[in-house]
Amino acid sequence: MKINALTRTLLAAGMLLAALPGQAETVNLQQAVEMSLAADPRIKEREQVVEAARSLVEEVRGNAGWRISANAFIGLAPEVEGGFYQGGAYSGTVPRTDGDNLDGVSDWTHLDFALIKPLFTFGKLERYGEAAEGNVDLKRGELKQTRGDIVYDTKRAYFGYLTARDTRGFLEDMQGRLNSAISSVERKLKDETGEARQSDLYALQTARGLLAKYVHQAKAIEQISLDGLKVLTGVGLKADLKVADERIEPVAFPQVDLAEFQSRALQDRPEMQQLEAGLRARRALVAAKKADRMPDVYAGVIGQFNYASQRERLDNPYLYDPFNGGGLTPVVGVKWDTVFGVASARVNQAQAELEALNHKKAFAVAGIPFEVGEAYVNAQANYGAQHELAEGAAAARRWMVASLADLSAGIESADKVADAIKNYVLVQTEYLRTVNDYNMNVAQLARLTGELR
């Protein structure tokens, strides 16, 4: 087979591209959320649960249609030859009696069937159908709740990674500044100029050891958060994933008051929608259990067929041979199959479950506004705190820079410099942590009010 020049060129280009190292995938927060919602197996699991609930609705509806029951088999029957009268005659006055004599056996083919359709069930099918539809809405609520949890987890991993990365970068910069200060003190001690003391060196080395611990911790959290983000977005642990944000920034404070948030939560939160769906299903189930105590009215066709090849057929309307013959007839009937004590117990059980769900709803109506209020107040507190900490971190940085300059000039002691560095590290890392906490407070508010973004 000949390959033209263009084909060879395309093949070579494809092989070259395949050999190049893979490019890192860079995502922002919204892209990460969308990837997580598309890749998370928990959503696919819940979607299949919803499909199973829909199938239950179809099953209930199917019970209102035609149904058939049939039984067919092949067996053996006694062989009979001749007529109905004595000696096998076809006419006479003395009926034939064979006693226990068995002249032979015959094959026997049997079929009986019933094709019927419910006409009136006293509300059984309708109420069970409503319960099944309520169950579908309940499963949809669980799916929505799972989506909200995934969005929240993705934001936690994304903001957690940014916080850890920024903290690690800041601490490594501080390590460099501290190492420079230590080197300066060591040179002064070696020159024996009297501008530094041995205790200065010990103070700075103590601060360096503490700082190194925080650097290692930040690196671990950074790696864990990034791996978590890789798992949630579905790219895999071995993929090269990067985030688009250069640093963590506080998100905008929601321009909605607390009362509006609480109202949204009571209306749109998945748990409230699940409660409403569950109540509809339970009410329908109570009515269905009550209807179970009543009969079913039906219409249809029933028939039976028997055939034995080695038996003479009787053509007498007053005599019936169970091994030969058959019939078919339309019917209208009533079927009643209930145990009164058991049926009443099932009604009581369904009613108790309904009442339990009513009490659960009452608790949710009281508790959800408090839960939303708690998240809202925490968001307000951290929103104000991160502003104050930003100003404090700027002041602490100026303090540290001035102290380092004074140390180099020999007019400041190292323990004062170490204090300045430790305070700057404390305030700056607390600022980054508070920004992360504030962002997650806002994410929690969205989660509690049923927002999926």
pLDDT tens for 343-372 read 888 888 889 988 988 888 888 888 989 999
**In-domain check, residue 406:** yes
**In-domain check, residue 194:** yes
Residue 27 has pLDDT above 80, yes or no: yes
Residue 13 has pLDDT above 70, yes or no: no
**In-domain check, residue 8:** no
Residue 273 has pLDDT above 80, yes or no: yes
Judgement on whether residues 263 and 289 belong to the same structural domain of the protein: yes
Residue 145 has pLDDT above 80, yes or no: yes
Judgement on whether residues 78 and 156 belong to the same structural domain of the protein: no
Residue where a domain terminates, one of 337, 363, 392: 337
Could you tell me the pLDDT band of residue 229, with boundaries at 50, 70 and 90? Answer: very high
Please report the pLDDT score of residue 228 as a whole number: 92
Judgement on whether residues 353 and 400 belong to the same structural domain of the protein: yes
Task: Give the rounded percent of residues in the chain with a pLDDT score beyond 90.
Answer: 49
Residue 132 has pLDDT above 80, yes or no: yes
Whole-number mean pLDDT of the chain? Answer: 86
Could you tell me the pLDDT band of residue 193, with boundaries at 50, 70 and 90? Answer: low
Q: What average pLDDT does the segment 70-84 reach? A: 89
Q: What average pLDDT does the segment 178-186 reach? A: 84
Q: What average pLDDT does the segment 177-200 reach? A: 78
Could you tell me the pLDDT band of residue 195, with boundaries at 50, 70 and 90? Answer: low
Record the pTM: 0.79
Residue where a domain terminates, one of 337, 369, 394: 337
Judgement on whether residues 194 and 75 belong to the same structural domain of the protein: no
Judgement on whether residues 165 and 256 belong to the same structural domain of the protein: yes
CATH classification at residue 304: 2.20.200
The 10 Å Cβ neighbour count of residue 407 is 24
**In-domain check, residue 241:** yes
**In-domain check, residue 10:** no
pLDDT: is 219 or 7 the higher one?
219
Domain count, the chain: 2
The 10 Å Cβ neighbour count of residue 402 is 13
Could you tell me the pLDDT band of residue 162, with boundaries at 50, 70 and 90? Answer: very high
Residue where a domain terminates, one of 312, 337, 362: 337
**In-domain check, residue 57:** yes
Residue 389 has pLDDT above 60, yes or no: yes
Could you tell me the pLDDT band of residue 429, with boundaries at 50, 70 and 90? Answer: very high
Q: What average pLDDT does the segment 75-88 reach? A: 83
Could you tell me the pLDDT band of residue 143, with boundaries at 50, 70 and 90? Answer: very high
Judgement on whether residues 106 and 203 belong to the same structural domain of the protein: no
Judgement on whether residues 285 and 316 belong to the same structural domain of the protein: no
Judgement on whether residues 285 and 319 belong to the same structural domain of the protein: no
Residue 414: give the domain boundaries: 29-64+123-294+341-448
Residue 189 has pLDDT above 90, yes or no: no
Task: Give the rounded percent of residues in the chain with a pLDDT score beyond 70.
Answer: 93
Judgement on whether residues 76 and 87 belong to the same structural domain of the protein: yes
Q: What average pLDDT does the segment 144-153 reach? A: 92
Most confident of the following: 7-16, 156-165, 187-196, 261-270: 156-165
Please report the pLDDT score of residue 357 as a whole number: 86
**In-domain check, residue 19:** no
What is the tens place of the pLDDT at every residue in 31-41? 999 999 999 99
Judgement on whether residues 262 and 378 belong to the same structural domain of the protein: yes
**In-domain check, residue 85:** yes
Judgement on whether residues 206 and 260 belong to the same structural domain of the protein: yes
Please report the pLDDT score of residue 22 as a whole number: 52
CATH classification at residue 438: 1.20.1600.10
Judgement on whether residues 55 and 107 belong to the same structural domain of the protein: no
